Amino acid sequence: MVDQRKVKWSEASNATLDDLIYDIRIVWAKKDAQRTIYDTLLHTVNHASKLGEQVRRGEYKAVLDELGDIVMWFLTFVGKLQQRVEDRRKTSQEALLFYTPLTLTDLVWNKYPYTCPACFLRVNKKTKKSKPWKRRCDCLLNSSIVEGRTDDEKAGTEKELRDFAKEHEAEKVSKLVELEGMFAFLYGANYETFSLESIAFHLLEEVGEVSDALIRLYSYNLSKTPNPAKFYESRRLHLESEIADVMSWIFAVSIKVKLLYQVYEKLPEGVGLGPFQTAPSPRAPQINLANILWNRYGDKNTGLLYCPTCGKPQCNCKLRFYKTAAATKSLIKG
């Protein structure tokens, strides 16, 4: 089983998000088969809020650990959404609506084709012809326009962006190191300007928006959407767009923490740790998403992904899920 892995520790930066999802499926196959989609999203929410707590405490090393946990749970969640509906057994009926046929690489590229989606809408509105390919985001200077976008405008942009992303298919970014580079290029000025608090809040906001997108796949207000079947597809596309946003803000946290540590390294030695509280580790140059993941989930002996809780290449944690009526009753009775 081990030799089927796609990601090796030594080449983690060259792995794609999809390679990681593939390996996660191998490590946690048995456990994840028992988890619902809701369960994996709840775990993501848990770590996104814990990340907020660590930001508040100024524990930047713990922020990175929480970020690693968010990524693993979120990738598990996306992996479940990708599962073909006919292969899903014991799934609650409404959860069959939670689906995407796309790879995570494509989900991200459809929303961020080396382009900021908000800039794309703004620039397109002004000059119908020029598309902002490989253009640094300047939303900072246009925040009222960005926040004032209506849902219809955003939905329209999503469709146009997808077409634009297809045009640039040959230049698609997929390796972790390249994705991080793309976000640093697009949003470098924003990351320098925003506080870590504001970035952590934004990540939490995006995780919440994924929850909202799921809710809207199975619940429809009939006075606004009298024919839900007409809306399902666009709402599914909206979920895909929100997933891309979460990935964008995950990279934002990684890049921002690195920037903060770079500030620390510019200070004279012996000045104390100040707001850093814990000494920078790993050192700033090594802070990137691939290393954050491998520091937490990489088996140092095999160089492969493993379960850090039980230490096994295929998770053997003694987890019991209480799901059947009889089992839950036995738990309640004590």
Contact residues toward Zn ion (CB under 5 A) are 116, 118-119, 137, 139, 307, 309-310, 315, 317
Taking the complex as a whole, how short is the minimal distance between the CB of residue 203 and Zn ion, in angstroms?
Answer: 17
H helix runs in 28-150, sequence order:
29-34, 37-57, 60-82, 104-111, 117-126, 143-147
**At CA 168, angle to CA 164 and CA 171, rounded to 5?**
150
**Please, which residue, 177 or 307, has the CB nearer to Zn ion?**
307
Residue with tokens 């405490």: 57
**Please, which residue, 240 or 299, has the CB nearer to Zn ion?**
299
Taking the complex as a whole, how short is the minimal distance between the CB of residue 113 and Zn ion, in angstroms?
Answer: 13
**Please, which residue, 58 or 188, has the CB nearer to Zn ion?**
188
Distance CA 298, CA 301 (A): 9
**Please, which residue, 184 or 284, has the CB nearer to Zn ion?**
184
**Please, which residue, 118 or 237, has the CB nearer to Zn ion?**
118
Taking the complex as a whole, how short is the minimal distance between the CB of residue 270 and Zn ion, in angstroms?
Answer: 41
Taking the complex as a whole, how short is the minimal distance between the CB of residue 317 and Zn ion, in angstroms?
Answer: 3
Do 186 and 251 contact (CB within 8 A), yes or no? no
Taking the complex as a whole, how short is the minimal distance between the CB of residue 54 and Zn ion, in angstroms?
Answer: 23
3-class SS at 8? coil
Distance CA 283, CA 265 (A): 9
Distance CA 109, CA 263 (A): 31
Residue with tokens 């985001």: 137
